[in-house]
Chain A
Amino acid sequence: DADVTQTPRNRITKTGKRIMLECSQTKGHDRMYWYRQDPGLGLRLIYYSFDVKDINKGEISDGYSVSRQAQAKFSLSLESAIPNQTALYFCATSPPGGNYGYTFGSGTRLTVV
């Protein structure tokens, strides 16, 4: 089983619909992140959480919200999807402190029509 699992893998939704992307991890990491990947723009941070009671906005949080249901679960919601939210979304985890990179999930490809 993957260390970081994202569901769904692909999703097509209509403008104005609410959608939730889910992420669960078996790494035991406290820190979890949501990134968005767009061609030519790289990976941009949407939200991050350093523990269950800690939620922080990233550089592009407008139009998104998150919920940290447990140490292992971090969900991203689009309250009212719009076409420019069409992108590849990645969840990532990292341990606290030290020189460690991220462990990424396999991504959710979201299309808003």
Chain B
Amino acid sequence: QQQVKQSPQSLIVQKGGISIINCAYENTAFDYFPWYQQFPGKGPALLIAIRPDVSEKKEGRFTISFNKSAKQFSLHIMDSQPGDSATYFCAARSSGTYKYIFGTGTRLKVLA
């Protein structure tokens, strides 16, 4: 079974701090790695994504770090804000099928 393991399950960060969420995968046939942000009562929304030929991608306060040899990728939220409080899912796309495997989610709370 293809899997994407996500940690931690929950995270509490002070306002202005750095939030870090990690994911690890086993299948080397994954070819695209997005992160989704989900607010209560809403569907997940694409936040940022990376291809395996890139080691880092930054968009504003959000950065993905990708380690192909370790088969790990992480989301870093710099200067975390209370508005960032949400559930975050990592995902990996199986090449050729365009199906995504999702991590189990991380509930982030940023304290004001």
Contacts and interface: CB of A to CB of B under 8 A. Distances in A.
B43 A42 contact: no
A26 to B, nearest CB: 15
A101 B43 contact: no
A101 B105 contact: no
Contact of A43 (B9, B34, B44): B44
B42 A90 contact: no
A42 B44 CA distance: 11
A4 interface: yes
Contacts of A45: 99-100
A35 B67 CA distance: 28
A101 B103 contact: no
B39 to A, nearest CB: 10
Contacts of A43: 44, 89, 102
A40 B44 contact: no
A14 B1 CA distance: 33
